[in-house]
Every structure is written in C-alpha cells, then in structure tokens.
Structure 1
C-alpha cells in the first residue's frame, strides 16, 4: 500500500502552523509576481535595452544552477527556520533599496545586477529550506493535501497577479518593489510565529568546504540508490526540457495566428486555470491512484495533447490546448514530491531536493535558451511536432520501465 494513502488526510485549514506557512508564502509570491513584471519594465526604462532586461531576469536562474547543490547541503546543516527568516529579511532589505535609490536619484544598473545575484542566493537557500521543512510541519499522510493546497493557492495568485501587477506598476514604478519588500517582512513574521520545529534533532557540524563537498556527494549517492526517485527525476528533467522550450514556442504560434499581446496573455491564463484545476484534484487522485500510474498518465496526456498546439487554427483553441495540457502536471508533481519528501531522511532533504531541482531547472534553462534558435531553424509548427515526438519517447520510456509502473510504496 502507498504510505501516503494509508489514512485519510485531516483538515489542514484548521492547523495554525500550516495557515501561517501558507499565508506568508502567498503574500510573498504576490509580491514576487508584481516585481517580476515591474523589473524588466524598469530596466528597459533605465537603459532602453531588452537584452539587459533579459540578463537581469536570467541571473537568478544562473545563480540557482551554480549555487543550488551547495544551498541544499547548507540548509541540512543550519537551522531551517532561522535560515528562512533571515533569507526573507535579507530579500526584503535588498528589494527596499530599489525605491530608496530611485527616490534619491541614484538608481542604476550595477545596483539592480547586484540585487539580482544576492536575491538569487537568498532565494535558493530559502527554497531548499522551505521544501525540506514541510514534512515536519504537516504529517506524511497530509503531504499530498498540503502540497495540493499550496499549488492551488499559488495558481490562484498566478491568475490574479498579472492584472494586479499591471495596476501596481501603473500607480508608480516603485510601487511593486515597495510592496514586495513589505511582503518579505510579512513572510518572515509568519515564519517566526510558527510553533513547529522545521527539522528533526541531529548533531551539528561545521560546514567547511571539504565537509560540504562530502555532504553533496553523500546526498547524490543516496539519490542514485533510489531507483524510483532517480528514474522519475530523469524523466522529469526530460519533460522540463520541453517545458522550457514551450513558453516561447506558444508565443510564436499565437503570433502566427495574429493574436495580440492581450490574447497571448489569455492563452497563458488558460494554462494557469488548468493548473489550478489540477491542484484542486490532487487530494482525490493521489489517494486513489499510485505514483507510477499518475506518472505514466501525465506523460501520455502531454504527448497526445502537445501536437494540437501546431494544429490549432485560432488563438482561442491554443487556450483550450494550454488548459488541457496544464491540468495533469500539478497532480503528478504533487504525487512525486510527496513521495520523495516522505522517503527521504530529514537530514538529507535539502541535498536531495536541491539536486533534483538543479537537474530540472538546468534542463528547462537549456530548453529556453535553445528554443529561439530552433524556432528560427525549423519553424514553430515543426518544432512543436519534434517536441511532441520527444514527449512520446518519454511516455514510452515510462510505460516500459518496471520501476515506474510499480512505483507506489517504497524504493
């Protein structure tokens, strides 16, 4: 029997600690979304260069890929709650320097580049500690429901956030940055009020460079010995490669159908609504179906749905395809994350989570970087069919893998 489905989940919404964790996360995410729109617009206003805007946005991903494994090892040594609180205070303080510098007339690109790098470091540490701490705040049985609730609320913020971001920036260029700075401090206060321990008791050791390298190797060695997690992580990285290429691809397909920017935005809103629906279905489906079944089903739904991006004759049918394709991913992601968090020892969670996230983020970054050249070389419709073939290959690999087919209980 699946260890995550042995007993029905209890009502998470009555748990004070989970309410605080979710509330702080959501207000911080809303602040991030406001800033994600304002930052490139601000860079373009300062420099007139879309290239510099892209560099600033890409720095956080680069930092994550370089620093992710180290961050995972560090949060397995450090107190996770304290780490998360100081990361939020640090990010809030850094973000607050933008409106302060703007008001003083000294805001420039060196400051924005420095903030992007430092925020990337703090965000990487925070993310590693956050995902590792969740199983200590809710029970293993409640993990799917907790992750599903977080996903549902995050997707709701994602749907609403785009329009709110536009309004905030219209009120003033610095309004999104000021809001985000406050949101980080609110998140830190919520974390401080949580009573649960964020990690199990264990002996502490000095995180020297040699010890960190040894710990990173230990975490990856443990991960490699777990065939279910290892195989699904590799499949997930393959899917992330397609996902990274898909963003620009869908934009180009929509433009080929003469969609205006508002209509392109609506297509991605449809994807967000599909992801929200999937998040709401998580508790039922993860209790009813084993991980292997969900994994194989998700890959086949993506493989069979993706070609319709190239076949859609109007932009609103692109929206339908985006909606349908996006429903399955949250269910699979929650099932996989719940399983991984439940079987990974608490002392290794930071390293294992960071290793997998670095793998999938790196694959997505490669897909994003390569998509422009591939679209120019092959054309958007042809690349869509190539990626559909790639998804079919991944689905067949999962279907033929006994490790994936039988994944449900223990490694």
Structure 2
C-alpha cells in the first residue's frame, strides 16, 4: 500500500506502479536463487543479522527515493532479502526443533508473523493519512532498526553455527 502512495507522489503511471511491484517479484526470485548458496557459505547468525539490516535500510530508502528508479531498486532489494530470511529461519527451525513439536512451533510462528499483518496494514494506512507516506516509512523504520540492532548485539545469535553444522549427519 505504501509503495503505491509513494509512487503516486512521484507521479507514477499505473504501468510504472505495476513495474514497481514487478521489481519486488524480481527481487524475490533473486533472493530465492541466492538463498541456498548463502546458507552454505554463512552461519545462521550473520545471515539473520544482515537480513535484518538490509530489510531496515532498504525500507528506509523508500522514504528518500528521489525518483521511480530508486524506488524500484529499493523495493527490489527489500524483496531479495525476504526469501533468504525466511528460508534460513525455516531451515533452522526444521533442524533444531524435535519432529514431534514441528507442527506446534510452525503454527505459532505463522500465527505471529502472518496474523499481525492485517493490523500492520491498518496501522500503516492510518499513519499515511495522519503523517504522510515518507514520515510513515521513517517511523516504521525505527522498530525494524531496533530489531536489527538487537540481533547484532545478541551474542547467542552470532554464535549459532551454520545450518550444515547443525544438520544431522546422513547415515550410510
């Protein structure tokens, strides 16, 4: 929603707005392609930390984008990180959580992550009306930056080994 309002403020045509959404799709595909190699090369903690910072900074870039090209690149970069983050998190949960608890943990994760989206969208819409789109992006950047900072400072998160080190060894 906020991408549409930001694009309209830059006098985007409906075609340009569609292309902006396509930049997110291209970013998602690129992130999905990069996800496997990144998980093999980097440990869980650094990937989580970098994902949090890339998401926060690319989100903030939406607020200061001077034109549609920059807005599209910022949107594409923000969507590159989504499949990387989710695949790393999902893979870690699959490895670290006992089989008999998988359903419970995955359902709680989905409830919290997806269940909060309607509230977030409603809040975003209200904030756009009250303070404007650029200021809304900056305001919503603050909790994202705090989460990224918390992740960066969390020693336990940084110490989690790579997924290949956590995965059970194959038999035979």
TM-score > 0.5, shorter chain as reference: yes
Tell me whether 1:385 sits opposite 2:138 in the alignment.
Answer: yes
Task: Give the drift of 1:346.
Answer: 2.0
The structure that has the greater radius of gyration is 1
1:396 aligns with 2:145: no
Distance 2:143 2:12 in 1: 27
Q: 2:74 aligns with which of 321, 338, 355?
A: 321
C-alpha separation in 1, matches of 2:160 and 2:13: 44
2:18 to 265, 285, 294: 265
Where do residues 131-210 of structure 1 align in structure 2 (5 Å cutoff)?
A: none
State the match for 1:361 in structure 2: 114
Using the alignment, how far apart are the partners of 1:317 and 1:391 within structure 2?
21
CA shift digits 1:133-156 (9 cap, x unpaired): xxxxxxxxxxxxxxxxxxxxxxxx
Normalised to the residue count of structure 1, the TM-score between the two structures is: 0.38
2:31 corresponds to? 278
Give structure 1 stretches of 5+ with no counterpart.
1-247
Deviation by residue 1:89-138 (Cα, 9 ceiling, x = unmatched) = xxxxxxxxxxxxxxxxxxxxxxxxxxxxxxxxxxxxxxxxxxxxxxxxxx
Displacement, 1:330?
1.2
Alignment of 1:32-43 (within 5 A): none
1:293-350 CA-partner distances (Å, limit 9, x unpaired): 0000011112222222111122232111111121122112111101101222222211
For residues 295 and 343 of structure 1, the distance between their equivalents in structure 2, rounded to whole angstroms, comes to 16
Q: Structure 1, residues 187-222: CA drift from partner, whole Å, max 9, x if none?
A: xxxxxxxxxxxxxxxxxxxxxxxxxxxxxxxxxxxx
* Higher normalized contact order (CA 8 Å, seq sep 6+, divided by chain length): 2
Report Cα offsets for 1:15-46 as digits up to 9, x if no partner: xxxxxxxxxxxxxxxxxxxxxxxxxxxxxxxx
| 2:66 match: secondary structure | coil
- Does 2:2 correspond to 1:249? yes
Q: Residues of 2 paired with 1:390 and 1:343: CA distance?
A: 27
Q: CA RMSD in A?
A: 1.4
1:304 aligns with 2:64: no
Cα deviation code 1:257-309 (max 9, x no counterpart): 11122211110110110110111111211011011000000111122222221
2:88 paired residue among 326, 331, 335: 335
| In structure 1, C-alpha distance between the alignment counterparts of 2:56 and 2:122, rounded to whole Å | 22
Please give the alpha-carbon distance, in whole angstroms, between the structure 2 residues aligned to 1:296 and 1:381. 25
1:215-226 equivalence runs, <5 A: none
Distance 2:115 2:153 in 1: 26
2:79 aligned counterpart, secondary structure:
helix
Other-structure match for 1:347: 100
TM (norm. structure 2) is 0.89
